[in-house]
Structure 1
Amino acid sequence: MELLDSFHFARPWALILLPIILIQAFWFLKYRHSTNPWATRIRPDLQKYLLLAPEKQPGYTGWIVLAMILSIFALAGPSWSQQSRPVYSKQDALVIVLDMSLSMLAQDIKPDRATRSKLKLMDLLEQRREGLTALVAYAGNAYTVAPLTSDSATIRNLLPALDPTLMPELGSAAEKGIEQAEILMKQAGITQGHILLVTDGIDKTAQQQIKKALGKETRLSILAVGTETGSPIPLGEQGFVKDQQGSVIISKLDLSPLKQVQAETSARLSQLQLDNTDLSHLLDDSIISELKEEKEAELPLWIEQGHWFLLPVLPLAALAFRRGWLLLLPLLLVLPAEPGYAFWGYTPEQKAQQAGEQAFHNQEYDKASQLLNTPAWQGSAYYRNQQYDKAIEAFSQDPSAQGHYNRGNALIKQGQLQQALEAYNQALQLNPEMQDAKDNRTLAEKMLQ
């Protein structure tokens, strides 16, 4: 048992070739001595005069199969011994606090503040190869999108789904976002961290509370989004967000409160730029700790021993140059088969669905919507491509609770709040415990008031 526990393959996927080789060898041996088709058409007493007896072939097939099996084991990278080395990693922790209040829908920067902020964060996460990263989104309250993790790719995949219209509670409580970021670092045992606040402005409450919420050993950087001229906040077919007097609200970037917080907390402040000079200023390498050795953690390195499996193959390979041996190799790769689908039996529709899902994950939503053939997937592709009318049509074909919920989200995007409310109610009739539907129904009700 100890030997089995210490046995390891660096590339275990290569072992899938073993059954393929064995199946090929089986078919080759089975059809090598096939009955002569003339034997059923010529009288038995004449066959010995007209038909040649099959030649007896040397049994080289077993040696070839053995050589292939040994080569596959060598390719799989077998190892049964280890050596360790210390782990080096960046010790900095970055928590991104992203403003998802309705004002982030303002289009004074194209296409809108929220989209530009998410694209900027995608660039940041693409460049961030080491260290721990977390994502917090806030509106009226703060919510953890992703806890501290070294997997930046996961956070990149979550970013596109964030939308100000889907936040459970309206408002702009930046101080709660900072508090949630401090909680995440405390839970992870981080004593010195860095918070990046991405916002289009803060109110007086946040201005007073951010300094209190910020830890003593926590650095703060602020990325300001928007322009001082500002723009209205679009709300689908309902026009623009208005105040209690019915006047259209113009959301402007007010840097004064942010500069006050900068002075009180020694934070870094920069406005959103087209290039990455803003990130370079906010996340300068000088404020990121250097590589440190984790002496208590060691990375086990398996020592590959595959070359030992190739030693017996060498004489077999040398003998393969004898006359006739190499001709057996292509025969092992030929299987008698009829025209049809691939080995796994995928139909054209299934292949199109798989290609569509791959395009969806690559964020090629226009291509994905043409390939996908299930309502849920197709509707999601239309939704991500901002074709909300087509998304509504696709989600309408999905009678599940999730289908009604997704349809409600698309209807909100179109400004059809009453229809969205009905869709959420239908979802909750099928699944009363669906919390997302409850939250979005509450949001729709508030927007209708």
Structure 2
Amino acid sequence: MSFLSPLWLFALWFIPLYLLGVRRYKWHFQGWLLLSLACLILSLGRPVVNEKPISVEEAGSDVILALDMSYSMRATDITPSRLGAAKRVLREVVESDSRDRFGVLAHTTSAIVLSPLTKDSELLKHLFSSLDESQIITKGTEVMGALELSRKMSHAQHPLVVLFTDGGDELSYEKESAYAQEHGLKVCVVMLASAQGSTLQSDEGLLKDEGGHIVVSSRNEAINQISSMSGGKVIEGADSKSVLEWIERERGEDFAGSTTVTRYKELFYIPLILGMIAFVLAYTTLGERVVKKIIPLLTLIGISLHAGVLDYPYQIAGEMAYSQGKYEHSAKWFGYLDSAEGKFNRAASLYKGGKYPEALAVYRSIRSDNPMFKSYVYYNMGNCYIRLNEFENARNALLKSLTLHYSHQADQNLKAIAIEQEQKSLNVRKEKKDKFSSDENKPAGEGKKTKEGGGSNMQSDIASSGAGDAGKKVQADPRFSLSQGKAALSSHQYELINQRSVHETKPW
């Protein structure tokens, strides 16, 4: 179990402080009230149980969002400004559309890529928020560069292009229209300007042209030609809903793939219900009756609480210590658990700490009726025997594991043991043969020296895993190798490396 909003759990620290004054006034009232508060805090923490991840197939279009950043976009005929309205629509579009990929570019007299195609909506929203129009001082719009860059950003046959603009300065967009039609661009023009237009502010006041006349920037209808010739659409004003509808209607399968989605089962209602019950008990005489009669009665009958609830703090502490590499502390916390899974976790922690005999003793003490769980126990026992160089015992343990449940890792470890034993046998015979040959060929009268030889340096890569009953978490060493530590590579491994034929995942 985990919490989606764990920061709320820090509020639980205030309850022990308040408990100091509970004894002074009606324990049954204060106790139930505190229990109600604790349950409410746990509910706000949103406890969940992780369910099995699922793979979701997805397909969508490449959508290029082209933002006009020219000086005229500071006009205020669209609230709060043309550029401000455009950024709001951009955020709403990427928040609402999770199927398509979005690329972002900005253009004035030239175009630049602000973000390549991505499905990361949080990244894009941060990008839109950080756009500072005060840094843009270019007074002009060149649309062709934006269209050319849009075509380069996507390899799709018909990418969608959304132009957020006030129309630019050109009297005709025939060349741009022909380019969009020829290169398969479907262009949607979001017109962010009014017909009456608006004045523009500058550092010296209202912006004026060379003749001293006040500049009024209004919409340029000529740009609509691009959308009509490319099969797109013209959208009036900052209408994110219309933009999303157009993308939905024109959506193709420019990309396809799958993504893994983690599902959660919400449990917040359990502590919420308990909190409501405790609150009712605090303000009724029933709460006092429960304290005086029902709880002692349950104690006499001998009803015990579920072990999983009582063991939860030790489980969490053990997992935290294990994840931080404090295996001795992890083994200590798991030692408080009497369940088979708790013992398994303790043995895994001892193993990671290098205490193989102690880990082996704990594995031997585990009892379970689950064949799968027993298979993992025998498998990890075999790994302990390997670390202790007791290969025959390791072989027997791995055979028991494979008998209960076949796993590729156990099979590979069993083969590695056989290779190790065979290599040792070959080295012993070779040593005897070399000694005999050397003695037979020595000159008469010369002392005979024993040829030095030794065992094999052959190393095997052993995989280890751990699992328990369905829905129960256990810790195990995910992967280890006899070649870890100070052992050197074998001569065969060096030969493979020199031949450039070493296998990356199974170098032996």
Question: What TM-score comes out, normalization by structure 1 length?
Answer: 0.46
Q: Per chain length, whose mean CA-contact separation is higher, i.e. which structure has more relative contact order (CA < 8 Å, sep 6+)?
A: 1
Bigger CA radius of gyration: 2
